[in-house]
Structure 1
Amino acid sequence: MNCCILGAGAWGTAMALHLDRCGHSVTLVPRRMEHALAIASTRENVDYLPGYKLPHAIQIGCELAPVLMEAEVVFLACPSKALRDLCLSVRAASDVAWQLKLFLVMCKGLELDSFKTPSEIVNEIFPEVACGALSGPTFAGEVAAGNPTAVTLAVDADFAAAESYQQAFSNASLRAYLSNDVRGTELGGTLKNVYAIASGMCDGLKLGDNAKAALLTRSLNELVRLGQLLGGQKETFYGLSGFGDLVATC
């Protein structure tokens, strides 16, 4: 499968390494030309994920149009605040994206002015292309190293298509668990950050493990209730993209 990753931060680079291990054709596209040239020259993302060499099979892209010509799945790995501008840039070059079947959002957060989730932004700009979300407890260094990892793969597609993506993006070290709750998956990865800040304050104030355990227990309860009110499914928030992400972050 031809996979394109737009955004070469730590998470995007780690995903490139994972997809290469899965046997896919992978192109990693940094936002800045000088960053792309540096990675292509050293075969390492020194700025964001030092210590992990990129195999020569992973191509480094500099321009969108040539990359989109062959891409079947586009992973959106930019910061959430840059997602709309990135999608508009892709839209401008999308006349050549003949094989594009799926966008997978890897960023977490809500758009500042509209409070839209990342997939809602993508669907607004690309209503004709399926969109999903990849989320969960995924420290980039551990994924890059091939340590055991599990993620939620939420895809707005029929089951057969979703299952094919699950199989394509899973291997012995990373297991993708299917969900059809794209909104809930994105909300879990966003809302848990509020409780992670509170957890950090708990540590900083040296309130102890009892207080932290109480905080996280009540945080999960609130996350589930709030997430449901915002349109997510209850079971999603008890899964990897909710509880799992909360545990890893705290």
Structure 2
Amino acid sequence: MEHIAVLGAGSWGTALAFVLADNGHDVRLWGHRPEVVQEINERHTNFKYLPDVQLPKGIKGYESLEMAIKDVHIIVLAVPTKAIREVCRQINEVSDHPHIVVHVSKGIEPDTLMRITEMIEEEMLSSVLEDVVVLSGPSHAEEVSRRQPTTVTVSSQNMKAAEKVQDLFINQQYFRVYTNPDLVGVEIGGALKNIIALAAGITDGLGYGDNAKAALITRGLAEIARVGSAMGANPLTFSGLTGIGDLIVTCTSVHSRNWRAGNLLGKGHKLDEVLENMGMVVEGVRTTKAAYQLAEKLQVKMPITSVLYDVLFNEIHPKDAVDKLMARGKTHEMEDLVNILGDRMC
């Protein structure tokens, strides 16, 4: 049994705490809302984020970050991307020993264009941070907390740390964990799929059919592979769980908050109204801005990201954005693959 702190009592943090408790670990679930922590401890539920789910009694809620991570080696960081830096600084203030930090958020920071691993390494003291491991893949919290079969991937610059995290999370009944040495690819795939999920929701909101969604998924994958390869990722990673796997689940499921937000945008709702009504963080909005900046910096073509940026931040009508995509000049479908493989061979 390992003592593990999960920071972030939202849907995904709670679901991962559920898995760890099922695996026999002592799990400390830290949240900033006192009423949520009290509910976890007294009723063993988290109704706001995972309704109708009974949590294992091996999960204990904490309001105090210092107490949550006391004598803990493994920290699971399950807070929104915009809160990563602040929580890391708080850990610095209350920790007196090194930790393996497992981050499970999916995003890129606008302006700095840093991956989450880079943000953590920049903020946390060397005396507090031992290793960073990313856990990512096609996984809805709602299904994980109902013990439905799920597969994810873990990656790290230190693969021994990744394998340790693999051992902690793997559950032979419903939660299978793979390892992948391509840290950049795993993070980029997990982050950028949210952009495509927003776009897929928009097409559904506009009333388009399966043809449009299939086009978005496949051409979205091309964009992700293009920018990921420019950042040093292995193109093959995007054919796996954190590429096509994550794209399928977030672009086709009503559980996906990015799809739901896009669907509302496609039906004519304004962005501010959508975000207010969602009640949860929609990472794809922030990531779209970062990816748009990243494409400009790397001089990589990301047409879907570009038109989605216009919808979100320049008030372009979604129908006009689709028309713009369809009117692009003709090209060869395999052009991206040929260029990527050519660069690799050189």
Q: Same fold (TM over 0.5)?
A: yes
- State the TM-score bracket (shorter-chain normalisation): over 0.9
Q: CA RMSD in A?
A: 1.6
Does residue 33 of the first structure (1) align with residue 34 of the second (2)?
yes
> Per-residue deviation at 1:143?
0.5
The answer to whether residue 230 in structure 2 is matched with residue 191 in structure 1 is no
Matches within 5 A, 1:80-159: 80-95=81-96, 98=97, 100-126=98-124, 127=126, 128-157=129-158, 159=159
Percentage of pairs with the same residue: 40
SS at match of 1:129: strand
2:217 matched to 1:219?
no
Deviation at 1:178, TM superposition (A): 0.3
Please identify which structure carries the higher helix content.
2
Residue 109 of structure 2 aligns to which amino acid in structure 1? E
Pairs aligned (count) = 246
- Larger Cα Rg: Structure 1 or Structure 2? 2
Which residue of structure 1 aligns with residue 162 of structure 2?
162
5+ unaligned residues in a row in structure 1: which ranges? none
Per-residue displacement from partner, 1:168-220 (whole Å, max 9, x unpaired)? 21012111110122222111111111111221222222232223222221211
1 or 2 for the larger relative contact order (CA 8 Å, sep ≥6)?
Answer: 1
Query: Residues 7-26 of structure 1 correspond to what in structure 2 (within 5 A)?
Result: 7-26=8-27
**Alpha-carbon offset, residue 94 of structure 1:** 1.4
Q: Matches of residues 61-76 of structure 1 in structure 2 within 5 Å?
A: 61-76=62-77
After TM superposition, where is structure 1 displaced by more than 4 Å over at least 4 residues in a row? Answer: none
Contact 1:6 1:31 in 2 (8 A): no
Question: In proportion to residue count, which structure has more strand?
Answer: 1
Shift of 1:161: 4.0
* Pair 1:115–1:161, CA change in 2 (3 A): closer
* Distance change (3 Å), C-alpha of 1:33 and 1:109: same
What is the letter of the counterpart of residue 102 of structure 1? I
Tell me the TM-score normalised to structure 1 length.
Answer: 0.92
Q: Which runs of 5+ in 2 are unaligned?
A: 252-346
* In structure 2, C-alpha distance between the alignment counterparts of 1:124 and 1:52, rounded to whole Å: 37
Provide the rounded CA distance (Å) in 1 between the counterparts of 2:208 and 2:140.
26
Q: What letter is aligned with 1:215?
A: L
- Matched-pair contact (CA < 8 Å) for 1:72–1:101: yes
Query: Closer, same or farther in 2 for the Cα pair 1:212/1:66, shift >3 Å?
Result: closer
Aligned-partner Cα distance in 1 for 2:245–2:106: 15
Residue 209 and residue 55 in structure 1: after superposition, are their counterparts in 2 closer, same or farther (change >3 A)? Answer: closer
- Of 24-33 and 133-142, deviating more is 24-33
